[in-house]
Amino acid sequence: MMSSLTATERSRAFMITMTVLLGGLVMAAVGHGDPIGMQGWVVILFTAVVGVVLLKSFDAPDPVEDRSASYYDDPTRVGIIIALIWAVIGMGVGLWVASMLAWPNLRFDAAWSSFGRVRPVHTSGVIFGFGGNALIATSFHIMQRTSRARMPNQVLPWFVLIGFNLFCVIAASGYLMGITQSKEYAEPEWYADLWLVVVWVAYFILYMRTLARRNEPHIYVANWYYLAFILVVAVLHIVNNLAIPASLTGAKSYSAFAGVQDAMTQWWYGHNAVAFFLTSGFLGMLYYFLPKRAGRPIYSYRLSILSFWGIVFFYIWAGSHHLHYTALPHWVQTLGMTFSVMLLVPSWASAGNALMTLNGAWHKVRDDATLRFMMVAAVFYGLSTFEGSFMAIRPVNGLSHYTDWTVGHVHAGAMGWVALISFGSIYALTPVLWRREAMYSWKAVELHFWLALSGTVIYVFAMWNSGIIQGLMWRTYGETGTLKYSFLESMIAMHPYYVARALGGLLFLAGACVGLWNVLMTVRHMPRHAPERDYPTSSEATEPAVPAAE
């Protein structure tokens, strides 16, 4: 794999790795005695592994292939595998924390294994580890295919992919050490945030340079969704993580904003992360892989462009609905509520567009589990955006907020939409990337589909029930005007649902494991496959391809 780099590229990659390793050394040295020192060792270990992989084929001969005649797919391949590994890790940890809630003994009483430390490993693991790597890998694929051009550089994509995973590893290991800035989905501390900015700028440059080299004049709509994802996430990340380190030799930092201002920034970031990380990028995936797999163009291309601009403009101000009934001024809450409700229009336009694309190809959906993954993802996208708009209405939020309903909503989106569209895309992509005839086992894909769907449904229904029961119990008053139920009573009422949730998570995790196995087996054991040509070769060119019309 590394042998497809030229010697210059290999040495450049090695230089970069060593520079980062040096940075890790500095962290380890100056941060001795502080968690940042431990994080330095994590960096050293990670870069050392990368360095060893590089060195193993450092003296291999230069590649002779004609680079202009093929796409650069190695980073995509590695990204897909990494994404699936993160899926298993993230979902496994998720299963653990879910079980911990049902059976508290699974807490094991260690500091690192406390719920507060393990839960962000789950959220970051699935969102950034699985989702982020899937986004990066598919974007590498889509930007090259739709531009009909190869990436401009061979080191930059590796830098983006490996650099992003370094961020994920720093983040996850940091959580277990107790390092967090206590912002949901933005827990990593300042040094990790700075590193992510560097990686993200490189990602943006790579994307723009590929588009600039494109041999197809039109920029396909999926690229717009990916670009919005990259650009807006960069801005959000920078603004929300504006913080002043307590000391340059320590991990701890203090946010630049205080109190409710900080909360507002956090949810401006948090909800836009949902919009631009978990929606925009995955819609890009949907708009490419769904038509490809179904073999028919998107139902309304015009609508896909319109809903792009709709989502870009409506999402930005929806975030304050996370802060209903808080110290946030009432009008800011109302603002968030209004925009959340309006957001339903472009969201449903996208979901409807996806489903209408399949209208007339239902037999393919019936037969092809990969396409079914995408179809169900679009359905869940429509469902969870409707639910989101509904829950953003202040009185509804009064019932749902701080209950498991919120957890159920997030997972309807994360499992039903994000994960299913990613799995569908990965199944569509794997045979193309490794030039295999098909997946190793279509039965395994089918099994994965049903595991994932049943897991999601069990999970979401359990959380809907427990959330509403919880919300109602919390607001039930006795005749004397006191609360009727104690908190513990509501916890006991939750127990069967928490068990059901763990079961749903287990099924979903099992599906992900089957998926990883299937992809690895496809890579190893499926015969190579020469791509079919749908255009006349030179010998056919002179023959009539279309019967003469009258």
Partner 1 sequence: MTLVDGDAAEQLMSPLQQGAARRSLRTARDGGAICLLSVPDIRCGGCVSKIERALNARDDVASARVNLSLKRVQITPSGSRADPALFIAALDRLGFAASAADDATATPDPTGNGLLRATAVAGFGAMNIMLLSVAVWSGALGTTRDAFHLLSAMIAVPVVLYAGQPFFSSAWSALRVRRVNMDVPITLAVLLATVLSLAELLQGGEQLFFDAAVTLLFFLLGGRYLDQMMRERASSAINGLARLAPSGAMVRRPDGALAYVELEEVKPGDRLVVSAGEYVPVDAQVSEGSTDLDRSLITGEPLPVLASPGDMIEAGTLNLTGSVEAVALRPAAESFLAQMIRMQSEAERNRGTYERIANRAARLYAPVVHLMALLTFLSWLWTTDGDWQQALFVAISVLIITCPCALGLAVPVAHVVAAGRLMRMGVLMKDGAGIERLANIDAAVFDKTGTLTTGRPRLEPVIADVADLSAARGLAIRSSHPAAKAIAADLVAEPAAVVEQVQEVPGYGIEGRIDGRRARLGRGDWVAEIAGEPASSPTDPAFAFAGGAPIGFEVTETLRDGVHDTFDAFSRGGLDLVILSGDSRERVMHLSHDLVLTDICAGMKPADKVSYLENMRHEGRRPLMVGDGLNDAGALAAAHVSMAPSSASDAGRTAADFVFLRKGLDAVAATHRVACRTAAVVRQNFTLAICYNCIAIPLAVAGLVTPLIAALAMSASSILVIGNSLRLSASPEKLRHGTRRRRLKKAAT
Partner 2 sequence: MSILSLLIPVTLVMGLVGLASFFWSLRNGQYEDLEGDAERILYDEDDRPLPSRTYKSPKEPTP
Nearer to partner 1, 6 or 334 (CB): 334
Beta carbon of residue 347, minimum distance to partner 2 (angstroms, whole number)? 18
Q: Is there a contact between 498 and 473 (Cβ–Cβ < 8 Å)?
A: no
Nearest 5°: the CA angle 494, 498, 503 is 155
Strands 243-245 and 253-255: antiparallel
Nearer to partner 2, 8 or 70 (CB): 70
Tokens 């994965």 sit at which residue?
448
Task: Give exposure, 126-160, as e/b (b: 16+ Cβ within 10 Å).
Answer: bbbbbbbbbbbbbbbbbbbbbbebbbebbbbbbbb
Dihedral sign computed on CA atoms, order 149, 152, 155, 159: negative
CB atoms within 10 A of CB 502: 24
Q: Which of 308, 99, 330, 103 is nearest to 224 (CA)?
A: 308
Q: Which stretch binds partner 1 (CB under 8 A): 3-11, 132-140, 331-339, 439-447?
A: 331-339
Beta carbon of residue 276, minimum distance to partner 1 (angstroms, whole number)? 17
Nearer to partner 2, 302 or 484 (CB): 302
Q: Would you put residue 329 in left (φ > 0), alpha (ψ -120 to 50) or beta?
A: beta
Q: Residue 422 and residue 91: Cα distance in Å, rounded? A: 14
Tell me how far apart the terminal alpha carbons of the chain are, to the nearest angstrom. 54
Q: Residue 1 and residue 227: Cα distance in Å, rounded? A: 28
Contact string (CB under 8 A) for partner 1, positions 281-320, x = contact: ----------------x-----------x---xx--x---
Q: Can residue 59 be called a binding residue for partner 1 (CB under 8 A)?
A: no
Beta carbon of residue 547, minimum distance to partner 1 (angstroms, whole number)? 8
**For residues 183-242, which are near partner 1 according to CB under 8 A?**
217
Binding site for partner 2 (CB under 8 A): 68-71, 144-146, 148-150, 213, 215-220, 231-232, 235, 239, 257, 261-262, 264-265, 268, 288, 291-292, 295-298, 301-302, 305, 309, 312-313, 316-317, 328-329, 332, 432, 531-535
Nearer to partner 2, 105 or 535 (CB): 535
Q: Which does 137 bind (CB under 5 to 8 A by kind): partner 2, partner 1, none?
A: none
Nearer to partner 2, 357 or 389 (CB): 357
Q: Which stretch binds partner 1 (CB under 8 A): 90-98, 235-243, 373-381, 538-546?
A: 538-546
Q: Can residue 69 be called a binding residue for partner 1 (CB under 8 A)?
A: no
Q: Which does 292 bind (CB under 5 to 8 A by kind): partner 2, partner 1, none?
A: partner 2
CB atoms within 10 A of CB 274: 22
3-state secondary structure at position 110: coil
Chain residues binding partner 1 by CB under 8 A are 217, 297, 309, 313-314, 317, 329-335, 338-339, 534-536, 538, 541-542, 544-549
